[in-house]
Homo-oligomer: A and B are copies of this chain.
Amino acid sequence: MTIQPRTLKGQETQAKLLHTALDCFAAEGYKASSMRVIAARAGVSLSHAYYYFSSKEDIVARLLLNLRTEQFDQCHAALNEGNTLESNIRSVFTSGLHVMQPYHEFGPAFLKVLLSQDLMDNELSAVEFSLWEKAVSGARPLPPLGIRRDLPKFLWLLSRQLFSAWAYDQSANQRRSMLLMNNAAPVVAKFAVLCRLPVVRSLFEDVLSLMDSGNSIRDQEEGQASDPKVFKAS
């Protein structure tokens, strides 16, 4: 994104550029959709594309966001019908696969976008997270109270792991990821039920705090660290 155009024509050009890029991605695939091709198809010069989008990755990020919101629209109705937690989890997974499948070859690029931007503070994460919140709060029976609050976050982080498996899945039609997600749903549901037992519950808390310690929301608060161990390579 990088720039929001001042004039109307600017906005139109930017929109057209984005639209063309998405079409091009769908029609020609990732490698074939070079910046030159996209720009040409949109009827602008190469460097002009860079006036509106700071990088190719930028456009990919946009595509990813579009797909996720599409997934959201597609399955948020099903999540409020009072189905079981397992069924809801499966709904989110399968809608995700369905929406993403045509762009599977973008997997590595998607992953790069996901991993390089801040984990919590962006629109994409918000969309994903809200999906998992609905999946939990709309489930009947509701999961145990003790974990109800943290379950969405757990599911969200889990889904990211599964997404990264999907991204590099080489099996035909991504069958492996499909299987993986379908199997994950009942296991998580079972896990949620077992969390009524204190032993299992404490394990859940361990795992969650683990996930947190690695992906903390607050990131670069090493501020003006008093004695920073800076290793400078010669």
7 contacts between A and B (CB under 8 A): A101-B233, A165-B214, A170-B219, A172-B220, A176-B213, A191-B203, A200-B203
Q: Is A182 a contact of B231 with CB atoms below 8 Å?
A: yes
- A206 at the B interface (CB under 8 A): yes
Which segment of A44-52, A76-84, A121-129, A221-229 sits at the interface?
A221-229
- Least distance between A121 CB and chain B CB atoms (Å): 13
New A-B pairs, 15, CB < 8 Å, besides A173-B233, A191-B206: A115-B167, A116-B168, A170-B219, A171-B219, A175-B222, A176-B213, A176-B219, A177-B214, A178-B231, A179-B213, A180-B210, A182-B229, A182-B231, A183-B209, A187-B207
Grouping DSSP codes into helix (H, G, I), strand (E, B) and loop, the A interface class, with mixed when no group exceeds half, is helix
- Residue-wise, chain A 80-105 has the 8 Å CB interface mask toward B (1 for contact) of 00000000000000100110011000
The interface residues of chain B lying within 8 Å CB-to-CB of A194 are: 199, 203
**Copies of this chain, count:** 2
CA A41 – CA B101 in complex, angstroms? 44
Q: How large is the interface on A (under 10, 10 to 19, 20 to 34, 35 or more residues)?
A: 35 or more
- A148 at the B interface (CB under 8 A): no
**Highest count of chain B CB atoms <10 Å: which of A102, A210, A215, A233:** A233
Q: Is B210 a contact of A184 with CB atoms below 8 Å?
A: yes
Nearest residue in B to A119 (C-beta to C-beta)? Answer: B168
The interface residues of chain B lying within 8 Å CB-to-CB of A190 are: 203, 206
